[in-house]
Structure 1
Amino acid sequence: MNVVFLSPHFPPNFYNFCVRLREAGANVLGLADAPYESLRPELKAALTEYYRVSDMHHYDELLRALGYFTHRYGKIDRLDSLSEYWLETEAALRTDFNIYGIRQDSISKIKRKSEMKKLFQQAGLRVARGRVCHTPEEARAFVKEVGYPVVAKPDVGVGAAKTYKIIDEWELQHYLSDKLPVEYILEEFIPGTIVTYDGLADREGRVVYASSMIYSKGVMETVLEDSDIYYYMPREIPRDLDEAGRRITEVFGVKERPFHYEFFRLEDGGLVALEVNMRPPGGLTVDMFNYAGDLDFYKMWAEMVVKGETHVPPPPRPYYCAYVGRKYNQHYLWPHEAVLHEFGPLIVHHEEISGIFAQAIGNYGYILRHPELAPLLEACEQIQRKAV
């Protein structure tokens, strides 16, 4: 099987997907604009060949690269990066080279938040009222309909990039004059806790692995306030969340892919569907899957792609697992060395976070795990505790 992996060096931990693909028997072909010499040794060893382009945004260069791979190795069976950023590029390349997976005729429903709402409702799930507003008049009419506060975000966008929480007329005017020149969707503000349904679907669309995260606060608030966030994986997934996640997987036709679905958990216990992402959760979350369940998600995905099946340990997972982020512009009570000394028995990994993720999840991250939740949450609070 010939698998082209776009940007195999980034995010930094994703090199593991290529390593596991090679171990599963795939012919792994790397395609990126980074110098070959900059790739880590484990990634170099996993790649049959690496094709460097001058810029990954130059589509004609990507076409030539796939043409070269096809000429040398035969038909390309799979192409992926498992990254939201390259999703549309992947769809175009799969369409042009007749490669299995998401193509251009199905990309809209997984990129546009307005299209996601329609499918959520088709799945019988509650959604926030929202509308793509093209003019100031349409935006004001929507606000009049639902009331303040409202949230404005690009209809096609990644994370909380250029997102606004609007609480009054002055902030509405600021949004209208400051927003990017792209289509925006306005939504009623939903007070609740962000929870996720994450996992892996097989070739038949069955969920073979599922996990969940509960956030200390919203990513949007973290970015807008330049504050801290932590999130944790429970050992078991609530039944209503599992059922909602499986319905989304079915209605969106997810096959042979990792996924990351976001919801609001309301005070009354209900769920509101927020958005879907056809890739693993960001940051160090894949590593959290592994630490929480004593498993290897990289291997599970690779075996699913190459062999069509994989072994998944049964629930419940043995540990709660948490990610705690800290920012360099904050003054914390516990210095890094003190964190390692005090919470060392809980910490299974820590590292500096790439700059493009830092605004959302911090410049430095710690992964912690424990069979019980209470000591884990106490450690999260203490690690982010500010000095007086």
Structure 2
Amino acid sequence: MNLVYICPQFPPNFSPFCSRLKALGVTVLGIGDGPAESLSQEISDSLAAYYMVDDLHNYDSLVKACGYFIHQYGKIDRLESHNEYWLATDAGLRLDFNIQGLKPADMQFIRRKSGMKEVFRRAGIKVAPGKVVHTLADAEGVVKETGYPVVAKPDDGVGALDTFKINNKKELLSFIEKKPDHDYIMEGFVKGTIFSFDGLTDRDGNIIFCTAHTFSQGIMDVVNNGDHLFYYSLRSIPKELEAVGRKAVSAFTVKERFFHIEFFKTGPTDYVALEVNMRPPGGYTTDMFNYASDIDVYKLWAEVVNGRTEPLDYHRKYHCCYASRKNRFNYVHSHEEIMDHYGSCILEVPSVPGVFSTALGDIGYIFRVEHERDLFEITAFIHEM
């Protein structure tokens, strides 16, 4: 099997995807915009070949790279980047080279938030009321239906960039006047706690691994307010969350892919869909999958690509938590104090690449515990200011 991996060097913690593929005998062919010498040793050892382009945004260069690989290695069987930013590019290349997987027609429902909302509604899953707005009249129509505050976000966007919470008419007028020149969706503000349903499906769309996380606050608030955050995995998934999560996976026909589906919990058993992401969850969450259950999800994905359909036998042994810190804050406890008190629980303290730091902080503490009370104690110690 030949698999083309777009931008295999980023993010750095995704390197095991390539090495696990190679271990199973897959020929991994990399395309990136940095010299081969800049690749990590793990990536270099995993790739059968590497093709450097000047700019990954230059689609013609990517087509040329794929053509070269076909000439040298034969048909491309899979193409992947595991990156939201390149999702549409991946889809275009799959269409052009007749490669299995998501195609451009799928982007309407897995990249555009308006399209996601349509799929959720058809599946009978609650969503926040709203629509794409182009004019002040459109926006006022949403406000009339939902009241203030409302949230405006790019219909086709990545993360919480260029996302706004609008609290009154003055802010609404300012948004309409200054909004970027692309489609925005406006929704009623939903008050609740964010939960995610995460996992991996086989080639037939069956879930072979799943878990769930809860977040101290939404990424929009973290980015817009410059806050730190924490989020953690659940040892037991609430049955209502798992039910609506599985319904969403089925509705979006997720096949041979990771999924990360976000919901607001608005009541003891009520969940409102926020959005769906057909790729591994961001940051270090795939590592947290592994730490929480003592598994290797990178190997599991490689096995799925190679044809595995057997569900993974695993147990959620721990809550695994990510707690961020930002350099702009004056924290009470030093890194050394944190390690002295809780070093036995802490697994990693990664420095976050700059492109992710607004959401994930400048550094993060990844730790695991068996009980939520211990998780809250450690998080409070890390975040005390």
TM-score (normalised: structure 2): 0.98
Q: Distance in 2 between matches of 1:149 and 1:101?
A: 39
Shift of 1:260: 0.4
Deviates more, 1:291-300 or 1:168-177: 168-177
8 Å CA contact 2:166–2:172 kept in 1: the answer is yes
Give the 5 Å matches for 1:282-301.
282-301=282-301
Q: Distance in 2 between matches of 1:134 and 1:196?
A: 30
- Partner amino acid for 1:314? Y
Q: Distance in 1 between matches of 2:308 and 2:88?
A: 24
Q: Secondary structure at the match of 1:352?
A: coil
The aligned counterpart of 1:28 is: 28
Shift of 1:238: 1.0
The aligned counterpart of 1:236 is: 236
8 Å CA contact 1:77–1:99 kept in 2: the answer is yes
Give the 5 Å matches for 1:236-255.
236-255=236-255
What's the CA shift string for 1:326-383, capped at 9, x where partnerless? 1111111111121111111110111100111110110101111011111111111210
Shift of 1:123: 1.4
Give the 5 Å matches for 1:25-64.
25-64=25-64
8 Å CA contact 1:152–1:184 kept in 2: the answer is yes
TM-score (normalised: structure 1): 0.98
Q: Secondary structure at the match of 1:237?
A: coil
Question: Which stretches in structure 1 are left out of the alignment for 5+ residues?
Answer: none
The aligned counterpart of 1:350 is: 349
2:370 aligned with 1:371: yes
Q: Distance in 2 between matches of 1:115 and 1:224?
A: 25
Shift of 1:177: 2.4
The aligned counterpart of 1:328 is: 327
What's the CA shift string for 1:189-232, capped at 9, x where partnerless? 00000000000000110111001110001111111111111001
- Partner amino acid for 1:352? S
Q: Distance in 2 between matches of 1:365 and 1:150?
A: 31
- Partner amino acid for 1:339? I
The aligned counterpart of 1:93 is: 93
Q: Distance in 2 between matches of 1:261 and 1:4?
A: 26
Q: Distance in 1 between matches of 2:250 and 2:141?
A: 35
What's the CA shift string for 1:208-259, capped at 9, x where partnerless? 1001110001111111111111001011111111111111111111100001
The aligned counterpart of 1:84 is: 84
What's the CA shift string for 1:54-96, capped at 9, x where partnerless? 0000000000000000011000000000110000000000000
2:66 aligned with 1:69: no
The aligned counterpart of 1:172 is: 172
Q: Distance in 2 between matches of 1:175 and 1:194?
A: 25
Once superposed, what is the RMSD of the aligned Cα atoms? 1.0
Give the 5 Å matches for 1:112-131.
112-131=112-131
- Partner amino acid for 2:381? Q
2:5 aligned with 1:5: yes
8 Å CA contact 2:295–2:314 kept in 1: the answer is no
Q: Secondary structure at the match of 1:351?
A: coil
Q: Distance in 2 between matches of 1:179 and 1:241?
A: 35
Deviates more, 1:202-211 or 1:137-146: 137-146
Shift of 1:302: 0.5
The aligned counterpart of 1:153 is: 153
Q: Distance in 1 between matches of 2:50 and 2:340?
A: 42
Deviates more, 1:45-54 or 1:171-180: 171-180
Q: Secondary structure at the match of 2:280?
A: coil
Percentage identity across paired residues of the two chains: 47
Q: Using a 3 Å threshold, how does the CA distance of structure 1 residues 354 and 71 change in structure 2: closer, same or farther? A: same
Shift of 1:267: 3.4
Deviates more, 1:87-96 or 1:337-346: 337-346
The aligned counterpart of 2:207 is: 207
Q: Which runs of 4+ in 1 moved over 6 A?
A: none
Q: Distance in 2 between matches of 1:343 and 1:188?
A: 41
2:343 aligned with 1:337: no
What's the CA shift string for 1:289-348, capped at 9, x where partnerless? 000000000000011001333562333x11111000011111111111211111111101
Q: Distance in 1 between matches of 2:163 and 2:347?
A: 33
Q: Distance in 1 between matches of 2:380 and 2:265?
A: 21
Q: Distance in 1 between matches of 2:135 and 2:153?
A: 14
8 Å CA contact 1:200–1:258 kept in 2: the answer is yes
Q: Secondary structure at the match of 2:349?
A: strand
Shift of 1:11: 0.6
What's the CA shift string for 1:6-34, capped at 9, x where partnerless? 00000111111000010111000000101
Q: Distance in 1 between matches of 2:243 and 2:57?
A: 38
Q: Secondary structure at the match of 2:317?
A: coil
- Partner amino acid for 2:171? E
Q: Distance in 2 between matches of 1:311 and 1:345?
A: 32
Shift of 1:178: 2.6
- Partner amino acid for 1:4? V
Q: Using a 3 Å threshold, how does the CA distance of structure 1 residues 38 and 193 change in structure 2: closer, same or farther? A: same
Q: Secondary structure at the match of 2:50?
A: strand
2:191 aligned with 1:183: no
8 Å CA contact 1:303–1:310 kept in 2: the answer is no
Q: Secondary structure at the match of 1:212?
A: strand
Deviates more, 1:73-82 or 1:377-386: 377-386
- Partner amino acid for 1:86? W
Q: Secondary structure at the match of 2:302?
A: helix
Q: Distance in 2 between matches of 1:170 and 1:340?
A: 47
- Partner amino acid for 2:221? E
- Partner amino acid for 1:375? D
